[in-house]
Structure 1
C-alpha cells in the first residue's frame, strides 16, 4: 500500500553509474552518510555527498542501508535512482519497500512510502 508523507532527511539524486549522490535536506543524516563513506562534493559542502561504488554488490549494500535509514530515491527522467532500486529489486538483489521523492512542478516534493 502506498502512502504520501511530506518530509525527507535526504534523497539519492544519482545512482545509475558507479557514483551514488545524496542531497541533504536535514543535517541529522550527515553523520550516518559519512559513516558509510560518503564525502562532500567540492563546492557543495554538506548539502551534497557522494560515494563511488566499485561494484554492484557494494551499490546494493549501500542502497539497502540508505533505504533502512529512510532516505528517499528520486524519481525523474532517464535512469533515475528509483528505477535503479526497482531494477535491483527485480533482479532479487534488493528486497523490501523503499521511499520515493517526486517533484511536481515547483511545489514541495511528495514522499511516497512503501514502493
Structure 2
C-alpha cells in the first residue's frame, strides 16, 4: 500500500502516505503537508464534487487505497459516487482489524 485516503466525506481530502514516491504526485495535484501528524499526512480542499471526483479517480489510478471504517468513510464516499454514476471503476479498500493488522481488498 502506497497511501490511503483517511478523510473524504466533506470538502477536505486527507491522504496518509506510506511510500514517499507518491508525495511528488500528490503535490502536483495540490495536496499540502499537514503538520503535527505522526505519519506523512497531506490535505487538499475540494471546491466542489466534480473536483473531488477527479481527485478520487487519480488517487485510485495510482493505487491509493480508500479507508473503510465507521461513519461516512472514504470507501463509502467512493461507492456512493459510483452508485450515482458520477465515478466509475474499481478501487482498493483498506480495513483495519487491529493497530498493526490491516486487510486490503482489491477490485471493490
User: Counterpart of 1:109 in 2: which secondary structure?
Assistant: strand
* Structure 1 ranges of 4+ moved more than 2 A: 42-46
* Pairs aligned (count): 108
Pairing partner for 2:3 from 4, 10, 20: 10
Cα root mean square deviation, aligned: 1.3
Contact kept in structure 2, 1:40 and 1:46, CA below 8 Å: no
Give the Å deviation of 1:76: 0.6
TM-score normalised to the size of structure 2?
Answer: 0.95
User: Gaps (5+ residues) in structure 2?
Assistant: none
TM-score calculated relative to the size of structure 1: 0.90
Q: Using the TM superposition, give the Cα deviation of residue 42 of structure 1 relative to its aligned residue in structure 2, in angstroms.
A: 2.2
Match of 1:89 in 2: 82
Runs of 5+ in structure 1 lacking a partner? 1-7
SS of alignment partner, residue 66 of structure 2: strand
The superposition leaves residues 51-93 of structure 1 with CA deviations (integer Å, 9 ceiling, x where unpaired) of 0000000000000000000000000100000000000000101
- Higher-RCO chain (CA-CA 8 Å, sequence separation at least 6): 1
Q: Please identify, of 26-35 and 45-54, the stretch whose mean Cα deviation from structure 2 is larger.
A: 45-54
Give the superposition deviation at 1:46: 7.1
1:44 equivalent to 2:37? Answer yes
